[in-house]
Amino acid sequence: MEEIVYLNGKLIPRSKAKVSVLDYGFLFGFGLYETIRAYNGKAFRLDNHLARLRYSADRIGIAINTAVIRKAVLDTVKANGFRETRIRITVSLGEGTITPNLASCIEPTIAVLVTEYKPPAPEKYRDGFKVIVSSIRRNSRSPVTYMKSANTMEAMLARQEARTKDADEALFLNEKGFLTEASGSNIFLVSGGILITPRFEAGILPGVTRVVVFEVANHSGIKVREKNVRLEELLQADEAFITNSLIEIVPVTEVSGKRIGKGKPGPVTKRLASAYRGLVAKETR
């Protein structure tokens, strides 16, 4: 059966959903998005995603009503009826003139897409991801770096670079050579029992799952440290893993051909992954 999508106030079949060729999301990539996972038909940490969306929208001048979008998400999830769900919220400045002029856009475009979600194969969690370091550098001084921008060209190019090298993900360094994040996820490493992750100012997206990892680490008595991280520190770590709302916590066992730790998921990673799944089960039952 065809999926139902939400577009500008209406639930309609996906094939009927149309956006103007003068939409600034299409013309210039001027928009934002959020990706959310729903378990048992319940979106996990939806309000956190909406808060991040609202913060970025306010910064770039897209007028949105998060209460309306929240209802749109719930209605779209219900209309499709999937048990395990991938939710994509996209907002753009809307339709405007072909000559760039932000003031020409009157109403934002708001879309919610819902598809059935299948997580990575079990062996990926058992054996871990192989990642590379992208040739692309992140700009820690760009405001776009800190938003979930609809323009994901850099991330897509980095992921394609990973595929050509038979890797699962690609990591970005910033212009100063510090580790930032992966093309679609945040990165953590474990050294001496301490959980380490790049500081926000290095040029990372403030991941919703990243914050949840902080929560479960705190509840598990695991110390977390945010700092500037050199690539060498990651390569010498005992463990590493990446996180996002869809894949949750996935071990990283190889970076650019070098084994991390013992080359298999470590005890801290396993402990946090178990705690994360427990929290999800509690909040979505």
Q: Is 148 a catalytic residue?
A: yes
**Cα separation values, 260 from 192, 231, 237, Å:** 14, 12, 6
CA distance 240 to 272: 12
The C-alpha atoms of residue 173 and residue 201 are separated, in whole angstroms, by 13
Residue given tokens 């001048």 in the structure block? 61
Q: Which of 16, 130, 148, 223 is catalytic?
A: 148
CA 83 vs CA 25, 86, 166: distances in Å: 30, 10, 31
Return the DSSP state at 16: G
Candidates 49, 50, 40, 34; CA nearest to 87 is 34
Residue 162 CA: distances (Å) to CA of 19, 131, 148: 32, 7, 21
Side chain identity, residue 282? K
Rounded to 5°, angle at Cα 169 from 158 and 35? 85
* Look-up of token digits 């590379």: 132
The whole-angstrom separation of Cα 171 and Cα 229 is: 12
Q: Say how many residues make up the chain.
A: 285
Q: Which residues are catalytic?
A: 148
